[in-house]
Amino acid sequence: MQRMQDLRKQKKQLREYKRTLDKDAPFSTEEGARYARVLTKLVLIELELEEMEKTALQSGLR
């Protein structure tokens, strides 16, 4: 459960940071690369959260 809370907190922080970046910056620039890394981290966090929630639901149904 602690991991899930940590992931949600990290997701919130990354979303706030993403808002400060230029989404139209080319990937060849530092800001574009930063934006791509933030998006990648957000997707990985979201996938892990979904998997944890799915596992929790399945455990509850058994």
Domain ranges of the chain: 2-61
The pTM for the full model equals: 0.86
DSSP symbols for 1-62: -HHHHHHHHHHHHHHHHHHHS-TTS-TTSHHHHHHHHHHHHHHHHHHHHHHHHHHHHHHHH-
Question: Does 62 have pLDDT greater than 80?
Answer: no
Q: 15-27, pLDDT tens digit by residue?
A: 999 999 998 999 8
Determine the Cα–Cα distance for residues 36 and 42; give it in Å rounded to an integer.
Answer: 10
